[in-house]
Amino acid sequence: MISIWAPEGIDEITSGADLQAIIGDALAASPDGIQSGDIVVVTSKIISKAEGRFVSAIDREDAITAETVRVVASRTNPATGSTMRIVESRLGIVAAAAGVDASNTPDGTILLLPEDPDASACALAKSLRARFGVDVGVLVSDTLGRAWRDGQTDQAIGAAGVTVFEDLRGSTDAQGRELSVTLPCVADELCSAADLVKGKSTGRPIAVVRGRGDLVGSLDLPGARTIPRTGPTDMFRKGYDEAFADGYAAGRGDA
């Protein structure tokens, strides 16, 4: 059985805050405590705040550009003139506006994603393991859209001590057929499930998942940086408009 809850006791996080101590205190005060095999899911926003990843809202477009490795697609709203960019960020994540966010931030500011979510997850996992003497995993979650589907879900952008993929290839289904491509991203699934109890405006930025201790292991396990599909395996490297423009240019002999 899997149980998930969101501990209380975490106030607004400010730049320079000792997030390891704050999260540890919240877990210590939780009636359910913390035990070996638990997975702590932490909203990326509080890590960014503690790291001081604030930028003036006036500089939003420049901040997006600075975080961008590659523009995947862009579209201008004819009514407002504003342009939305789907980009691959320096973290390898493909997302709108490189994950730059203005929600739940002080007026006049925006927030960048953490500098290195896997490293942040590892530091927190080490701290919790040392403090409580139990093996726990840590996931850093962020809200992202998905290709071909409306709405957003929370997904893993950082991981430490957690198996991010549950590799079922080579096993069999209920009818005895061999599974050849089944590779659930359990890190994303856990982050989405955790968001059901964390919410977006409840003041509970962390959640504890209990019941999947089989996924918790060494801090040397691959992090969430292994999840995004970019580079040679990316089948959708460009948006429709961009691909059409390139094809048109190639047909004219311009490229």
pLDDT tens track for 104-146 = 888 888 899 999 999 999 999 999 999 999 999 999 999 998 8
Q: What is the mean pLDDT of the chain?
A: 90
pLDDT single digits (tens) 216-225: 999 999 999 9
| CA atoms of 55 and 133, how far apart (whole Å) | 38
b/e per residue 25-60 (b: at least 16 CB within 10 A): ebbeebeeebeebbbbbbbbbbbbbbbebbbeeeee
pLDDT value of residue 90: 92
pLDDT value of residue 255: 56
Instruction: Identify the burial level of 175 via C-beta atoms within 10 angstroms of its C-beta, where 0-12 means exposed, 13-18 middle and 19 or more buried.
Output: exposed
For the sheet containing 3-5, what is the strand order? 3-5, 206-210, 39-43, 137-146, 149-160
**Who wins on pLDDT, 254 or 62?**
62
- pLDDT beyond 80 at 96: yes
For the chain, give the percent of residues with pLDDT over 70: 95
Backbone angles phi, psi at 49, to 5 degrees: -65, -45
pLDDT single digits (tens) 7-24: 998 999 999 999 999 999
- Beta-bridge partners for 142: 155
pLDDT value of residue 15: 94
pLDDT single digits (tens) 150-165: 999 999 999 999 999 9
pLDDT value of residue 125: 98
pLDDT value of residue 216: 98
